[in-house]
Amino acid sequence: MRLLDRYLFRELLTPLAYCLGGLLLLGNCFSLFGELEKLQERKLRLLDVLEYSVAITPEFLVMVLPITLLLALLYTLTNHSRHNELTAMRAAGISLGRICVPYFIVGCALSVALFVLNELVVPQSTEWKSRILARYVQKPGDVESKTQFRNFGFTNTRGHRAWFIGEYELVTAEMLKPQVKWNSPDGSIRLLRADRAIRTNGVWTFYNVAEYSQADDSAPVVPSLMTNVLAMPEFDETPQQIRSEIKISSRQSLRRSRSLDIPLADILAYLKLHPDLPPADSGALFTKFHGRIAAPWTCLVVVLIAIPFGAATGRRNLFVGVAGSIFICFAFFVLQQVSLALGSGGYLPAWLAAWLPNLFFGALGLVLMLRVR
């Protein structure tokens, strides 16, 4: 690595670390003070509150990381420009693109880190946070902290099977009083009832089973089988798919929520159960799917936007970078919410609605970067 690259990395990473640490500290304190009444209602103790502050950190980190990178980049570039360091580098024959290579490396690395955090860490921390809140006082709306669900039903439209479960244990994937209704290849209707079911070696095994058949909807129901244990390898619904069904169906409406709050694994599992969703729900779900992929690359777009704003020649006040970052963040947020709303409503293709803010600001950054003198 060249000496210049090490210098540029150091000059960027130092304010980035300070900004990130400061924003995380302020964000946690602000969140805790804002939720103080709720924490008191839940009767949390000091150690519980400290644990809760750790649990909310990944979710807050995902939100502030692009903002922090933008702020640090504008600060760094404006500082270089004020001291004519960029002019000296370019006078030595180094192009602006080559100067900014360390910034693009940091942007790509943070985009990958943001994707991993969003998909692997944040869902776990969200459930952890919900479990902490429900540790002493539970409320009816605590869906994320529940591990047992009663009278839960869903339909696998791909496999043409309807499930109704008297009680489902989320952790062990054990069912009590399950009922499954499906159509046989010969057109007859079959119904299976059991006292208990558990998935073993990838196969659903039912206990104390009674199976019934019906020639058609108007024909009488006839008992066809009674046994103590029955394995049904043709039932290919997985615990992950059932979990996604519970999570997504627990949202009030896919079309109302424009936040990208559903992990990709849950969306894919849900789509396997429901390949033929209504257009409205399909648009909302695919918008969320593409949005989960597009959101982490905001860090790379931030680099493209920050370079022309911060690399302009001449002496400039450092607060110009701060004011610029606030304006850019506000404009990006407004465009993101509008495009997600249009995508969820079916007015824009799902992929375009999710990627529109990145495409617009990325193209704008490239054009402005080419015009920097």
- The answer to whether 307 touches 367, Cβ cutoff 8 Å, is no
Residue 181's pLDDT band, with cuts at 50, 70 and 90, is very high
**Sign of the C-alpha dihedral computed for residues 143, 149, 153 and 154 taken in this order:** positive
Tell me which H or E stretch contains 210: strand 203-214
Residue 109 has pLDDT above 50, yes or no: yes
The radius of gyration computed from the CA coordinates of the chain, to the nearest angstrom, equals 27
Question: What percent of the chain is modeled with pLDDT above 70?
Answer: 91
Higher pLDDT, 219 or 353: 353
pLDDT digits (tens, 9 = 90+) for 295-349: 999 999 999 988 887 776 555 555 665 676 678 778 888 998 899 889 888 889 9
pLDDT, the chain, mean: 86
User: What pTM, to 2 d.p., does this model score?
Assistant: 0.80
pLDDT of residue 326: 72
pLDDT in tens, 153-174: 898 988 889 999 999 998 888 9
Q: What was the pLDDT predicted at 315?
A: 55
Of residues 10, 66, 80, the one with CA closest to residue 372: 80
Exposure b/e, 140-179, CB count within 10 A at least 16 = b: eeeebbbeebeebebebeeeebbbbbbebeeeebbbebbb
